Structure 1
Amino acid sequence: MTSLTDPAADGIRLQKVLANAGVASRRVIEDYIVEGRILVNGEVVTELGRRIHPETDLVDVDGTAVQLDVSKRYVMLNKPIGVVSTMRDENGRPDLRRFTEDYEERLYNVGRLDAETSGLLILTNDGALAHVLAHPSFGVTKVYIAKVEGIVTAQTIATLTKGIELEDGPIAADKARLLDTSTSSASGKESSLVELTLHSGRNRIVRRMMSAVGHPVTELVRRQFGPLHLGTLPAGKSRELSKIELGALLTLARRDAPADATPGDVQEKQ
């Protein structure tokens, strides 16, 4: 990869930039440089005097991308049911503003979850990252747990992975598995828990897929978005991404960004 900037040009020493980003102390980073563990714009750096431009240069340490702009914020939210995925809802429904009020930065959501679906949603002020992750060609993997009506069979699981035809075209789950089945002692109604892994970003795709195979969704939660896992984060709570999580997300975005994707400001979608 060709350098975005001239290494000999004015800039900031690589050690200082990475120390400010919280990677390690300057002395430790100097060892990393000598050991060839740091890449700038895809090229191994071994000169201790290397200067970079944090605004334009891309840095990786041990194969993991590093965010040099400390003004960028990355938050994981477990969106509760009943909240719409927008920063301002024209119909007055509960929206995401309540979860961003405590942050100084102006955050926006990456992608959407419908109001009836809970689970992992990313909030950020990193327009370039949000643009790539939301790009149709990117196809970030998402994992959902769906509670559905009826007893799902092995044949139905196979159908979901082989592919089904919907009104807007064919669709197949990357992975599907049956987690559990149960019968309500009170009503006698049968239900199943199904885990679906998809890279499609089509509207209400899980609900439409399960309805198409005869098992309407009654509850739906997104547990995973790319390398990020919801874990034990309670519904309605948020937390900032750890450095490991952020590194994994940035690495994924830089590696798989579509050729025609260009950075831009995050735009709120109504």
Structure 2
Amino acid sequence: MKEKLYTIPLMDAFKADGECPFCYVERKLEEHTLDFVLGPGASYMEDDVRAETDAMGFCRTHFKKLYDYGNRLGTGLILKTHFKKLNQELDEQIKMFAPSRVSIMDKLKKSKNTENAARTSIGAWAASTKEKCYICDFYKKTYQRYLDTFFDMYRKNPEFQELFRSCKGFCIPHFGELADEADRVLSDKEKKQFYEVLFPLMKENMQRLYEDLDWFCDKFDYRYKDADWKNSKDALPRGMQKAAGGFPADPPYTSDR
């Protein structure tokens, strides 16, 4: 199989032998984007990049990761011009703002489904700022290509097929995405074969992790304090990853790596 842009990183992810190869891909993509935005290449000084970061901004999680990265000047310049845009939008929103009038019937009709919905144009605008993030957007666009590559390799590459069969499964979010994507791109025959591998793989490895967590908790019982930890010492971060994705034990990704 001819090697493509996403093939080698995906092979590396499965060879890393972690709890979820797609969490590995996600982490590498995020680190690459942090380097692109704030790293030695100074992409934040490019007009087209700055225009995108000004327009989209970053989510709470990635603002924190930009801060941890260590390039204070770069982060400051990005934030400065982003605030210029935010202030312009704020002025426009305040000029257009008109509070709604609530009738008695409106109050009676209030339901749980509408309690969290924005009631004003400013509320909707503020909510929209939380939904946009330059790094999340880059990840989502690139991640789909990795999913496409996964199924292309699953069909054509015997070495990759074996890596898939012998891996430790996936975190629950990425497991769901794989199941959905398989239903979309595979033939009926291929779906049957794929799910016959994927589902037992997940059940086996979820049970393995449960047993690691069970023993981790038992080790706090005085009766087992001298017993071997087996594979449970890092059961907490692995369990968190399996349940929700990511690498909870990772230190901040910084510019001096």
Give the TM interval when normalised to the shorter protein. Answer: under 0.3
Decide which structure has greater helix share. 2
- Structure with larger Rg: 2
Decide which structure has greater strand share. 1
**TM-score using structure 1 length:** 0.20
**TM-score using structure 2 length:** 0.20
